[in-house]
Amino acid sequence: MSEEGLIKLLITTPQNFLLAEPLPLDCGRELKQVNIRYETVGTLTPEADNAVLITHALSGNAHVCGRYTENDPKPGWWDDMVGPGKAIDTDRYFVICSNVIGSCAGSTGPRSIDPDTGNPYNLTFPVITIRDMVRAQKRLVEFLGVRRLLSVIGGSMGGMQALEWAINFPDMVDSVVPIATTSQLSPQCIAFDWVGREAIKNDPRWNSGNYSADRVPEGGLSTARMLAHITYLSDESMSRKFGRELQDADSYSFDFQRDFAVESYLEHQGRRFVELFDANSYFYITRAMDYFDMARRSGGDLAKTFSAAKAAFLVVSFSSDWLFPTAESRKIVNALLKNRLNVSFCEIQSGYGHDAFLLEVDALGRMVRDFLRNRLEVRRG
Amino acid sequence: MSEEGLIKLLITTPQNFLLAEPLPLDCGRELKQVNIRYETVGTLTPEADNAVLITHALSGNAHVCGRYTENDPKPGWWDDMVGPGKAIDTDRYFVICSNVIGSCAGSTGPRSIDPDTGNPYNLTFPVITIRDMVRAQKRLVEFLGVRRLLSVIGGSMGGMQALEWAINFPDMVDSVVPIATTSQLSPQCIAFDWVGREAIKNDPRWNSGNYSADRVPEGGLSTARMLAHITYLSDESMSRKFGRELQDADSYSFDFQRDFAVESYLEHQGRRFVELFDANSYFYITRAMDYFDMARRSGGDLAKTFSAAKAAFLVVSFSSDWLFPTAESRKIVNALLKNRLNVSFCEIQSGYGHDAFLLEVDALGRMVRDFLRNRLEVRRG
* pLDDT tens by residue, A7-17: 678 999 999 99
User: Same domain, yes or no, for B177 and B258?
Assistant: no
User: Same domain, yes or no, for B106 and B49?
Assistant: yes
Contacts with B235 from chain A: Cβ below 8 Å: 186, 188, 322, 325
Cβ atoms of B188 and B325 closer than 8 Å: no
Residue of A nearest to B297 (CA): A251
Instruction: Flag whether B37 is marked binding.
Output: no
Average pLDDT in the A97-119 region?
98
A223 and B194 within 8 Å at the Cβ level: the answer is no
* Main-chain dihedrals φ then ψ at residue A65, nearest 5 degrees: -155, 170
Measured in angstroms, the CA of B128 and the nearest CA of chain A are apart by: 8
Q: Which of A287, A322, A344 is the last residue of a domain?
A: A287
> In the annotation, is B321 catalytic?
yes
Query: Is B255 among the domain residues?
Result: yes
CATH code at position B72: 3.40.50.1820
Contacts with B283 from chain A: Cβ below 8 Å: 256
Q: Is the pLDDT of residue B4 over 70?
A: no
User: Same domain, yes or no, for B76 and B221?
Assistant: no
The residues, ordered by sequence, that sit 6+ positions from A188 with a Cβ below 8 Å of its Cβ are B230, B233, B235, B238, B239
User: Same domain, yes or no, for A135 and A272?
Assistant: no
* 3-state SS class at A379: helix
Measured in angstroms, the CA of A9 and the nearest CA of chain B are apart by: 38
Contacts with B218 from chain A: Cβ below 8 Å: none
User: Same domain, yes or no, for A153 and A19?
Assistant: yes
The residues, ordered by sequence, that sit 6+ positions from A47 with a Cβ below 8 Å of its Cβ are none
Q: Tell me what pLDDT residue A8 has.
A: 73
Q: Which of B287, B320, B353 is the last residue of a domain?
A: B287
Q: Tell me what pLDDT residue B270 has.
A: 98
Cβ atoms of B12 and B37 closer than 8 Å: no
Cα distance between residue A256 and residue A361, in whole Å: 38
Contacts with B183 from chain A: Cβ below 8 Å: none
Q: What is the pLDDT of residues B52-99, one digit of tens each?
A: 999 999 999 999 999 999 999 999 999 999 999 999 999 999 999 999
Measured in angstroms, the CA of A239 and the nearest CA of chain B are apart by: 6
A244 and B291 within 8 Å at the Cβ level: the answer is no
Of the partner residues B190, B233, B259, the one whose CB lies closest to the CB of residue A262: B190
User: Same domain, yes or no, for A32 and A146?
Assistant: yes
User: Same domain, yes or no, for B150 and B256?
Assistant: no
Q: Is the pLDDT of residue A196 over 50?
A: yes
B325 and A27 within 8 Å at the Cβ level: the answer is no
User: Same domain, yes or no, for B86 and B124?
Assistant: yes
Q: Is the pLDDT of residue A357 over 60?
A: yes
Q: What is the pLDDT of residues B172-222, one digit of tens each?
A: 999 999 999 999 999 999 999 999 999 999 999 999 999 999 999 999 999
Q: Tell me what pLDDT residue A2 has.
A: 45
B127 and A254 within 8 Å at the Cβ level: the answer is yes
Residue of B nearest to A234 (CA): B188
Substitution target in B182, B195, B268 with the highest count of A β-carbons within 10 Å is B195
Q: Is the pLDDT of residue B245 over 70?
A: yes
Q: What is the pLDDT of residues B10-31, one digit of tens each?
A: 999 999 999 999 999 999 999 9
Percentage of residues of chain A with pLDDT beyond 70: 98
Confidence of residue A3 (pLDDT cuts 50, 70, 90): very low
Residue of A nearest to B255 (CA): A127
Q: Tell me what pLDDT residue B260 has.
A: 98
Measured in angstroms, the CA of B202 and the nearest CA of chain A are apart by: 6
Contacts with A295 from chain B: Cβ below 8 Å: none
Q: Which of B156, B175, B222, B329 is catalytic?
A: B156
Average pLDDT in the A56-72 region?
97
* Main-chain dihedrals φ then ψ at residue A269, nearest 5 degrees: -60, -40
Residue of A nearest to B296 (CA): A244
Q: Tell me what pLDDT residue B344 has.
A: 98
Cα distance between residue B100 and residue A12, in whole Å: 60
Cα distance between residue B175 and residue B162, in whole Å: 9
Instruction: Report, as residue numbers or ranges, the catalytic residues of A.
Output: 156, 321, 354
Measured in angstroms, the CA of A31 and the nearest CA of chain B are apart by: 15
> In the annotation, is B156 catalytic?
yes
Measured in angstroms, the CA of A243 and the nearest CA of chain B are apart by: 6
Q: Tell me what pLDDT residue A7 has.
A: 62
Q: Directed axis angle between helix B157-168 and helix B279-290, to 10°?
A: 50
Confidence of residue B359 (pLDDT cuts 50, 70, 90): very high
Of the partner residues B222, B226, B238, the one whose CB lies closest to the CB of residue A187: B238
Of the partner residues B186, B199, B293, the one whose CB lies closest to the CB of residue A239: B186
Residue of A nearest to B325 (CA): A235
Q: Tell me what pLDDT residue B266 has.
A: 98
B186 and A242 within 8 Å at the Cβ level: the answer is no
Percentage of residues of chain B with pLDDT beyond 90: 97
B244 and A293 within 8 Å at the Cβ level: the answer is yes
Residue of A nearest to B232 (CA): A188
Q: Tell me what pLDDT residue A180 has.
A: 98
Instruction: Flag whether A355 is marked binding.
Output: yes
Query: Is B35 among the domain residues?
Result: yes
Contacts with A255 from chain B: Cβ below 8 Å: 127
Q: How many structural domains comprise chain B?
A: 2
A325 and B256 within 8 Å at the Cβ level: the answer is no
Q: Which of B261, B287, B313 is the last residue of a domain?
A: B287
Cα–Cα separations (whole angstroms), residue A166 to A361, B134, B230: 24, 59, 33
Q: Directed axis angle between helix B157-168 and helix B130-143, to 10°?
A: 70
User: Same domain, yes or no, for A368 and A309?
Assistant: yes
Q: Tell me what pLDDT residue B7 has.
A: 62
Query: Is B2 among the domain residues?
Result: no
In which domain, by residue range, is B198 found? 189-287
User: Same domain, yes or no, for A37 and A156?
Assistant: yes
Q: Tell me what pLDDT residue A251 has.
A: 94
The ipTM assigned to this model is: 0.95
A325 and B235 within 8 Å at the Cβ level: the answer is yes
Q: Tell me what pLDDT residue B135 has.
A: 98
Confidence of residue A6 (pLDDT cuts 50, 70, 90): low
> In the annotation, is B268 catalytic?
no
Q: Which of B151, B321, B329, B350 is catalytic?
A: B321
User: Same domain, yes or no, for A318 and A179?
Assistant: yes
Query: Is B3 among the domain residues?
Result: no
A194 and B263 within 8 Å at the Cβ level: the answer is yes
Q: What is the pLDDT of residues B99-138, one digit of tens each?
A: 999 999 999 999 999 999 999 999 999 999 999 999 999 9
* Main-chain dihedrals φ then ψ at residue B121, nearest 5 degrees: -60, -50
Of the partner residues B223, B242, B254, the one whose CB lies closest to the CB of residue A195: B223
Confidence of residue B8 (pLDDT cuts 50, 70, 90): confident
Pick from A241, A228, A239: nearest CA to B327: A239
Q: Is the pLDDT of residue B380 over 70?
A: yes
Query: Is B18 among the domain residues?
Result: yes
Q: Is the pLDDT of residue B3 over 80?
A: no
User: Same domain, yes or no, for A156 and A210?
Assistant: no
Q: Is the pLDDT of residue A5 over 90?
A: no
Query: Is B141 among the domain residues?
Result: yes
CATH code at position A281: 1.10.1740.110
Q: Tell me what pLDDT residue A1 has.
A: 40
Cβ atoms of B51 and B146 closer than 8 Å: yes
